[in-house]
Structure 1
Amino acid sequence: MGSFKEATAVEKVGDGEFKADLDAQWSVGTKLHGGYLLAVLGRAAAELSEHPHLTAISGSFPMAPDPGPATVHVEFLQASRTLTQLRARLSQNGKPCVEALITQGTLTDNDPWWTNFQAPEMLAEQDCVRFAGKPPGATFEVPILDVVEARIDPSTTGWAMGEPTRTGSISTWQRLADGSDWDPLSLLVALDPVPPVSFELGAPGWAPTLQMSAYIRRLPAPGSVQVQLNASDVTNNRMDEAAFAWDSSGRVVAQANQFAAVRVPRG
């Protein structure tokens, strides 16, 4: 098992040009995980920024890349005292696969000046259900669940027995299986959790990310993160998902919104 840092490593090969080796372990079925791909772009963008931490990213996914060699191009846009803004593109075989606007800043672990976020009520991590690389009810393997330990609140696992509650919400505990602590880049993986809300709505199957925007609020404390994923509307085989992540100290560390495809069952 390789670490997240190894899986997202990039090598500079020119002015704003990097090469990457996309790791098949970070996949859902045969498709690379959206949060993982954004993290690869974030890793490259940090090389061109004096500000150390990813604070915001908005990515689109025109084509799903395959595991293996890929190219990342990063364009510097502008910098100020508090932030750097960049554009990054991941390409494979000359075709664009992921494109993102990225903001780098400097994060702290300070408490919020004001917040309205409240962590979801759920069982302790050890009392929740661990899902492995081939979770019950799934029609394909999910390799990322072998490198990211996801424990799901039992109240939102009815879909695995063919009895989804259709509340449009799933809560999970997540930790990196290699023992690494979460950081601003790896939180992008936590914000795109598996399974997607569509499973809980009774629509199992791959739910590819079309667009995802994430905001990293502060440096996470060591330990697991608690993630709540909510959907608001499913229309024309498209759904929204809003994710919020709390660290072990109970503070919100990151949030994301994404637009994803979903195959709605007939009838």
Structure 2
Amino acid sequence: MGTFADATAIGADGSVTLDPQWAVGAKLHGGYLLGLLGRAALGSSSGLPHVTAISGTFLSAPEAGPARVTADPLRAGRTTAQIRTQLWQGSTLCTEAMVTLGTLDDADPWWSGLDPVDLPDEISCFRTPSQAPGGFHIPLMDVVEQHLHPEHIGFAFGSPARRGHIAGWQRLADGSDWDPLSLLVALDPVPPVSLDLGIPGWVPTIQLTAYLRRLPAPGPVRVRLSAGDITGERMDETAHAWDSKGRLVGQAIQYAAVRPPA
């Protein structure tokens, strides 16, 4: 089992090896790809230590294997820098992201109107297997341990709750603690909320924007994913993640296609 740091390592020439473990089915995970582009941005000359915001557009699904990343600084200030990043495989532009860099700390919020999602303890929640019912393989679940709220997994037994949200615990399977880059994986959780709404099928991400709020405390994060509206085979999903101290550490919204099976 490789670590997230290993899976997002970048050579001096921008070369990368896309890791097949960080995938859902045969498709590399969107949060993983944004984490890779975030690391590319951190390698720029700004000197700022953390990704604080990232907005990615997914143009073409890359395959596991060799690829390359680029990072073009647009502005570098004392407390904020903006970097344009791209992921290429051969001559194909696969993902582009605008990244904002800054400095995060672990201070408690001055104010927050977002209470942590209420979850049973991990042992009482359902561990998401890497081999889902029906034979669908989720390699990501071998590197991320996810325990879903038992009331949110009715879709797996043919009885979706149809509430439009799914929540659970997440931790990195190798024992590493979450950091602002790896949190991008947690902020793009699986399964999609469409399953809870009784809509099976693939839900490819079109665009995803995430904000990293503070350095997470050691331990698992609790993540709540919810949908606001499904229209014209398009869906929004909003994710919030709280650390083991109950503080918001990241939030994201994505726009995704909904593709039910024929």
Matching residue of 1:104: 101
Matches of residues 131-170 of structure 1 in structure 2 within 5 Å?
131-136=128-133, 140-170=136-166
User: Where does the alignment leave 5 or more consecutive residues of structure 2 unmatched?
Assistant: none
Percent of residue pairs identical = 56
In the alignment, the residues of structure 2 paired with residue 134 and residue 123 of structure 1 have an alpha-carbon distance, to the nearest angstrom, of: 24
Given the alignment of the two structures, is residue 257 of structure 1 paired with residue 216 of structure 2, yes or no? no
Q: Following TM superposition, by how much is the alpha carbon of 1:265 offset from its aligned partner in structure 2, in angstroms?
A: 6.7
From 17, 31, 35, the counterpart of 1:35: 31
Contact 2:201 2:261 survives alignment (8 Å): no
- Is the CA contact 1:9–1:20 (under 8 Å) kept in the aligned structure 2? yes
Give the letter for the 1:174 counterpart.
Q
Which runs of no fewer than 5 residues in structure 1 stay unpaired?
A: none
Give the deviation of 1:261 after TM superposition. Answer: 1.1
Deviation (angstroms), 1:206: 2.1
Q: Is the 8 A contact 1:240 1:258 kept in 2?
A: yes
The equivalent of 1:69 in structure 2 is: 66
Structure 1 segment 1-267 matched on structure 2, within 5 A: 1-13=1-13, 18-48=14-44, 49-136=46-133, 140-264=136-260
Residue deviations 1:153-183, cap 9 Å, x none?
0010000000001100000100000000000
Tell me how far apart the structure 2 counterparts of residues 204 and 121 of structure 1 sit (CA, whole Å).
26
Aligned-residue RMSD, C-alpha = 1.1
SS in 1 for 2:184: helix
Q: Is the 8 A contact 2:225 2:237 kept in 1?
A: yes
Q: Distance in 1 between the 2:36 and 2:97 partners?
A: 11
Return the TM-score normalized by structure 2: 0.97
Q: Tell me how far apart the structure 2 counterparts of residues 229 and 121 of structure 1 sit (CA, whole Å).
A: 13
Measure, in 1, the Cα distance between the counterparts of 2:162 and 2:217.
32
Q: Which amino acid aligns with 1:118?
A: D
Could you tell me how far 1:264 is from its partner in structure 2?
Answer: 4.0
Work out whether residues 125 and 149 of structure 2, in 8 Å CA contact, stay in contact via their aligned partners in 1: yes
Cα deviation for residue 147 of structure 1 reads 0.5
Q: Residue type of the partner of 2:32? A: Y
CA distance in 2, matches of 1:241, 1:85: 25
Q: 2:50 and 2:76 mapped to 1: Cα distance?
A: 14
TM-score if structure 1 supplies the norm length? 0.96
SS at match of 2:217: coil
CA distance in 2, matches of 1:134, 1:258: 25
Q: Give the Å deviation of 1:139.
A: 5.2
Letter matched to residue 40 of structure 1: L
- Output the CA distance in 2 between the equivalents of 1:68 and 1:144: 16
Q: Secondary structure at the match of 2:11?
A: strand
Once the two structures are superposed, residues 132-159 of structure 1 have per-residue CA deviations (whole angstroms, 9 ceiling, x without a partner) of: 11123x5521100110001000010000
SS of corresponding position for 1:183? coil
